[in-house]
Structure formats: C-alpha cells, structure tokens
Amino acid sequence: MAAKKTTGLGRGLGSILSDAQVAHEIQSSANITAAISNIPLNLIDTNPFQPRKEFDEEALDELAQSIRQQGIISPITVRATDDGRYQLIAGERRFRASQRVGLTEIPAYIRIATNAQMMEMALVENIQRENLNAMEIAFSYNALIDECHLTHEQLSERVGKNRSTITNYLRLLALPAETQLALSTDQISMAHARALASIDDMDSHLMILHEIVSRQLSVRDTEKLVQNAKKSPAKKTSAANKSLPESYSQQKDRLHERLQSEIEIRRSKRGKGTLTIHFNNDSDFERIMKIINQ
C-alpha cells in the first residue's frame, strides 16, 4: 500500500529552482513511498544521469558473491516511468551485481522524481561513498548547475561540500583533454591537476604533465616545476606554425575514420610533437588496439 504523500519539500530542489512551474511540479510529487516492492530486474533501466561511467569489475564480483550469500540488504531506489518500467535512481552496483547472480527481482523503494532530482540523488550517493573519480565529480557538478540553475553556493549546500571545493572541481573542466584523462585514470592526483591548472601555455603544461607521469613526481616537485615554468614560459609559436601541415591533417582524418576515436596531433615548428588517441573505457581501448595490430 502506497504511503500518503506529504505536501512539504523541506530543503528540496523546489526551494532553489528558478523555474516556478518546475518547482510546483516537484513540490506536488517528490516523496518516497514507505513500502518496499520487489521489482523484476528486466523492468529496470539504468539511470541516464548516473555520474559514474566506470564500474570496477572485481568489486562487482565481490558484491555479487555477497548478494549470493546474504541477499540484498539495502534496497535500491527507482522511479516509475509512463511505459510501466522503472529507472534507477540509486543502487546501480547492487542492480548490476544482482544481474550477475541471476536474480529475477530486487527490493526497491519507488519514488516520484524529476530528472533534476535523479541527477542530484545519484551524484550525492556516489560522492558520499567516494566512488567517483575527480573528473566524474566535475562533470556531475557542472551538469547539476546547468540542469538545476544553481549557483556554486547553492550547489555546495546541496552536496555538503565547501564552495571552494566546488570551484576547484569545476576548474578541472578547463584542463586539456590529456590532463583530464590522466586525472580520471589516477595517473595524477587532484593536487597535481590544481597545480597544472595555473599553466596557460599548452606546451609547458603538457611538458610538466608528462614529467609527472613518467617520473611519478610528488605534488611539491610539480609545484616547483610550475613556478619555474611561470618564470620562463615556453616561447609561443605563431598562428601559422601552430597549424598542421596538410599531410598531417589528412592522416589525422584517415586515422579518425579508421579508429572511430578522437585524434589529437600537436607539432612544434621543428617537427617534434605528440599523437594522442582517445578512448572511453577498457573495452574501447581493446577495440582500438585490435584495429592497430591488424
């Protein structure tokens, strides 16, 4: 039996969204049911606003083993959709592990929630459990700001983090793609990234990044390199020198078409440079390597 709905939101999203209509919709229907329902797994879709992009396979296997022995201890949270299905709000690891075990249904709280609320709850749950890498948190903060029209101060209140912490994460979005990738794969730390963020010159930035990764530099050593780079920045090439030769551009396009991945080529006026091939996850990396090794 569904629980009675209360009319107050407390400090819900309705009190901070600028759109009055959206706020009214949230206020009229945004409360969790008291009862727990067993829902067939095949009727549940993953959360499109899930901030986590990668799930540790070994950790999922361990969770699956625990579920096999103990069952689901903590129910997942879902929302019902108009087509009779459900979308995950929180608990995707439990959902995935239950699939591995071979369960046919799972206990769940059913909640009425807007897209903004789903995004917020999924983000907060993962941050509280410290399961997200720095770039996932940064992208999620930015998505919440855009979706919910929040200021940095309002977002800090929603996720329980200092405003300065929010700002530091959002600054990561301005980093070069290569630095973001190094951060998301734990090749560098958040402190390394903050030091690199103060280097505007791309050549100096990437040079220091490669030094950090190859020599496994400490944050203190990185800060020293950054200070030296600021005192004697690398000479900037002209716009003409920054453009790639036509043959390079053609090869870049061919490589992109063959690998179906983002390709970056950086070349100095002396002909020295880097070729970067981007991949989305481990399986995408394996796909690219198979093509290269053919």
211 is catalytic: no
Contact between 261 and 284 under an 8 Å Cβ cutoff? The reply is: yes
CA distance 211 to 119: 37
3-state SS, the chain, equals: CCCCCCCCCCCCHHHCCCCHHHHHHHHHCCCEEEEEEEEEHHHEECCCCCCCCCCCHHHHHHHHHHHHHHCCCCCEEEEECCCCCEEEEECHHHHHHHHHHCCCEEEEEEECCCHHHHHHHHHHHHHHCCCCCHHHHHHHHHHHHHHHCCCHHHHHHHHCCCHHHHHHHHHHHHCCHHHHHHHHCCCCCHHHHHHHCCCCCHHHHHHHHHHHHHHCCCHHHHHHHHHHHHHCCCCCCCHHHHCCCHHHHHHHHHHHHHHCCCEEEEECCCCCEEEEECCCCHHHHHHHHHHHCC
Closest CA to 187 of 224, 214, 223: 214
Point out the catalytic residue in the list 25, 54, 58, 92: 92
Contact between 197 and 166 under an 8 Å Cβ cutoff? The reply is: no
CA distance 192 to 219: 6
Catalytic residue numbers, as ranges: 92
